[in-house]
Amino acid sequence: MASAAEELDQLMIRPLGAGQEVGRSCIMLEFKGKKIMLDCGIHPGLSGMDALPFVDMINAEEIDLLLVSHFHLDHCGSLPWFLQKTTFKGRCFMTHATKAIYRWLLADYIKVSNIATEQMLYTEADLEATMDKIETINFHEEKDVRGVKFWAYHAGHVLGAAMFMIEMAGVKILYTGDFSRQEDRHLMVAEMPTVHPDVLIIESTYGTHVHEKREDRENRFTGVVHDIVSRGGRCLIPVFALGRAQELQLILDEYWMGHPELHDIPIYYASSLAKKCMAVYQTYVNAMNERIRRQIAVNNPFVFKHIQNLKGIDHFDDVGPCVIMASPGMMQSGLSRELFESWCTDPKNGVIVAGYCVEGTLAKHLLSEPDEVNTMSGQKLPLKMSVDYISFSAHTDYAQTSDFIRQLKPPHIVLVHGEQNVMSRLKDALLREYADDPSRGPVQIHNPRNTVAVSLPFRGEKVAKVMGGLAVEPPADGRVLSGVLVKRNFNYHLLSPDELGKYTDMTQSQVSQRLSVHFSGSPQLLQYILSSLSADFETTKGKYQWRLFRAVTVTLDGKTAILEWVASPGGDMLADAVLAAVLKAETTRVDAPTRPAKFDRMHYKECLIETLQEMFGDEAVPKFFKGEKFHVTCGGRRADIDLTDMSVTCEEDEVFRSAVLTAVTKLYQSLSPATLSRND
């Protein structure tokens, strides 16, 4: 049976995280009874259960599909918890590169997260166990899970980042995840999908901000680094271990190569994780841009000449100017925090915040230029070192977003992954832009808060394909089509029942039944009773076997009566009637007439006259009549009855006529054996 949810025409989009905030991306889609979760991230500024998206709002068991856009913690950080610690039974997909990095990234996260064991959401063993539950999807490959069709586009941003296009019952939804349409040193730009989505769920991290040009940004970055090290300071670049870090390394390595005077100043990259994942970068070159793919055939661009890997702070000899890239990127804890705390009091030193910072992290706090900062141990330190903010994060900016939307022309836009103010500014800006553009048609922009659902009405148009024998004749007005409608994954096919096996995996079956009843009476009695039951009564010669209603066969074999028929609701009902008759014959202990009962017409006529006299008075009907025709008079009206075809005519009074007709036919039916119309 089709459940009510399946027939609903409302598409519900409910952010469980990343609704008017950045971090813990988790968006629920519900449509036609299907539930899809997009991303399952963790909030970098919170810890323990608080950092999870609001998954208590939903029933994990009902989710059919979970898609993870890329390997950043705010997009996949809760995944091991969700897969291992909830009742989730659906399928989970990510791209190959994302899966390969996810495993190492989260293992690293478990190691560095600075919280008590009981607050840990999951362990390394949990993470390991999730690897078998996660399936991979290649870019552009179409998958179908329970009628939900989806495929991935390149999203730029980081290696393996994907935008997902999801199609349910003809409605297409594009989830961008984090994306960037600006070409950089190693990644492709986000693709422009060739199909137009009905709903666009788009990130709004940078809102109305417009990025500076790539060259300017790089020059500013290298300039700041150069300044810091030339004044004898230490340059700290807190970075997320994977993703932008590789981009920065490519830039710094090239800059050092062009500036021999800097060769004495070491660049350290303090991440064993990045080292581990280098093999992944070297393998999935097919997901990178043309430049890298070309170069990798010659030499590996990810083998750096001037950048050394640093195993940990113990191996670091802090003697003079240097550049260190350390994770985590927002200095919540770990190496970047340690280095920051030991360097922040010296004005020669400098920190360059190169990525996006989430509310509640130290990096974000630094941007407000405080005089003092709190250390991990709670102590206060004066902030003397220089702080620069150069955004390298590969997120879309206003120019890219607005161009993307202009090309895709989605009627509905849902903004996620952006802070409240930034998001509403973006919403206003977009609305203003499109208000001036009448050619575009109406656009609705939503920016739901966490747990608040956006409900969009979609008329799930149902189109069926008529196939095979039913479709031989072309459709014409008024043609009646009868057949079996097969519904599979939002697809409808109308078929003739005998062609089911040809077009589907299903086959038509038949169930025949054979029921034995004890019968101790004489065959004649049985025959008599059965013959008075059905007018369609055939006897097989030489055997005690009768066929009633052209459906049920009764055979008498010694003291057993056997009923045989083919199952169908009608057939079962007739069989029940025959069975009742057999049981009646069993209990009736009378000597049966030798001949089968025959309908007595004279008896019927007598009864009819009596009935009519009862109904309309003794005077209404002639006492005797010959042939099959007579009349009834009542209150001056006369109805003529013709018994040959059981018809009644009365010109004056329709009510009277039908009353007489009812009497005539009902009486006939109750006195004669039953007949069934041919079609059954």
Partner 1 sequence: MHILYAVLWKAGNPQQVDECRFLLDAGWDENFNLNYLRDVRKHVNQIDAVLLTFPDQAHLGALPYLFGKCGLSCAVYATVPVYKMGQMFLYDQYQSRHNTEDFNVFSLDDVDSAFDKIVQLKYNQSVALKGRGQGLTITPLAAGHMIGGTMWKIVKDGEEDILYAPDFNHKKERHLNGCDLEHVARPSLMITDAYNATYAPARRRQRDEQLMTTILQTLRGGGHVLVAIDTAGRMLELAHMLDQLWRNKESGLMAYSLALLNNVSYNVVEFAKSQIEWMSDKLMRSFEGARNNPFQFKHLKLFHSLSEVNRIRGPKVVLASSPDLECGFARELFTQWCTSAKNHVILTARTSVGTLARDLMTNKKKKTLSLQVKQRVRLEGAELEEYQRRELEAKRAKAAALAGDIDSSDESDTDEAPLATDGQVEHDLTLANGKPNPLFFKSSKRQHAVFPHIEERVKYDDYGELIRPGEFAVAEEEVKPEPVKEEAEPADQEMQDLSTVPSKCLAYYRTFTVAAGVTYIDFEGRTDGESLYRILEQLRPRRLVLLRGTDEVVQPLAARFAQVAEKVLIPRAGHPVDATTESHIYQVRLRDSLVSSLTFSKGKDAEVAWLDGVVVMATDQRPSDVTAPTDDAAMETDDAEEAIPTLELLPAEKAPRHSTVFINELRLSDFKQALVRLGIASEFSGGVLWCCNGTVALRRQEQGHITIEGCLSDDFFRIRELLYGQYAIV
CA 30 – CA 523 distance, rounded (Å): 66
Q: Cβ of residue 608: shortest distance to partner 1, in angstroms?
A: 30
Q: Cβ of residue 615: shortest distance to partner 1, in angstroms?
A: 30
CA 392 – CA 242 distance, rounded (Å): 13
Distance set, CA 326 to CA 32, 165, 271, 340 (Å): 46, 35, 7, 10
Q: Cβ of residue 480: shortest distance to partner 1, in angstroms?
A: 5
Strand 629-634 versus strand 637-642 pairing type: antiparallel
DSSP state of 336: H
φ, ψ (nearest 5 deg) of residue 121: -80, -30
630 forms beta bridges with 641
Of 75, 243, 239, which is closest to residue 158 (Cα–Cα)? 243
Which residues does 140 contact at the CB level (< 8 Å), separation at least 6? 151, 152, 153
Say how many C-beta atoms besides its own lie within 10 A of residue 263's C-beta.
11
Which residues does 321 contact at the CB level (< 8 Å), separation at least 6? 228, 229, 230, 232, 233, 234, 235, 265
Residue 605 structure tokens: 């006529």
Closest to partner 1 by CB, 533 or 663: 533
Could you write out the DSSP letters of every residue in 225-276?
HHHHHHTT-EEEEE--TTTHHHHHHHHHHHHHHH-GGGTTS-EEEE-HHHHH
Closest to partner 1 by CB, 46 or 676: 676
Q: Cβ of residue 25: shortest distance to partner 1, in angstroms?
A: 22
Q: Cβ of residue 21: shortest distance to partner 1, in angstroms?
A: 28
CB-side neighbour CA atoms (13 Å) of 523 = 12
Whether residue 497 contacts residue 484, with contact meaning beta carbons closer than 8 Å, is answered with yes
Residue 303 structure tokens: 């083998």
Q: Cβ of residue 491: shortest distance to partner 1, in angstroms?
A: 8
Residue 451 structure tokens: 């747990």
Whether residue 421 contacts residue 429, with contact meaning beta carbons closer than 8 Å, is answered with no
CA 449 – CA 498 distance, rounded (Å): 53
Could you write out the DSSP letters of every residue in 406-446?
HHH--SEEEEESS-HHHHHHHHHHHHHHHHT-GGG---EEE
Give per-residue burial for 67-78: e unless 16+ CB within 10 Å, then b. bbbbbbbbbbbb
Distance set, CA 125 to CA 40, 72, 73, 86, 129 (Å): 19, 20, 18, 16, 6
Say if residue 410 is preceded by a cis peptide, omega within 30 of 0: no
**Catalytic residue from among 70, 211, 395, 417:** 395
Q: Cβ of residue 400: shortest distance to partner 1, in angstroms?
A: 15
Q: Cβ of residue 153: shortest distance to partner 1, in angstroms?
A: 7
Q: Cβ of residue 196: shortest distance to partner 1, in angstroms?
A: 6
- For residue 395, indicate whether it is catalytic: yes
Q: Cβ of residue 414: shortest distance to partner 1, in angstroms?
A: 14
Q: Cβ of residue 287: shortest distance to partner 1, in angstroms?
A: 9
Which residues does 625 contact at the CB level (< 8 Å), separation at least 6? none
Closest to partner 1 by CB, 407 or 669: 407
Q: Cβ of residue 551: shortest distance to partner 1, in angstroms?
A: 11
Closest to partner 1 by CB, 293 or 440: 293
Residue 268 structure tokens: 């350290």
Residue 128 structure tokens: 């390991």
Whether residue 207 contacts residue 416, with contact meaning beta carbons closer than 8 Å, is answered with no
Whether residue 203 contacts residue 212, with contact meaning beta carbons closer than 8 Å, is answered with no
Closest to partner 1 by CB, 139 or 528: 139
Whether residue 581 contacts residue 528, with contact meaning beta carbons closer than 8 Å, is answered with no
Closest to partner 1 by CB, 3 or 87: 3
Q: Cβ of residue 478: shortest distance to partner 1, in angstroms?
A: 6
Distance set, CA 638 to CA 568, 628, 634, 666 (Å): 46, 17, 6, 20
CA 68 – CA 36 distance, rounded (Å): 11
Closest to partner 1 by CB, 167 or 341: 167
DSSP state of 136: E
Long-range contacts for 659-665 (Cβ within 8 Å, ≥24 apart)? 659/615, 660/612, 660/632, 663/608, 663/611, 663/612, 663/615, 664/608
Strand 322-326 versus strand 234-238 pairing type: parallel
Which residues does 536 contact at the CB level (< 8 Å), separation at least 6? 547, 548, 549, 550, 675, 676
Residue 219 structure tokens: 């020059």
Closest to partner 1 by CB, 171 or 422: 171
Closest to partner 1 by CB, 47 or 98: 98
Q: Catalytic residue numbers? A: 395
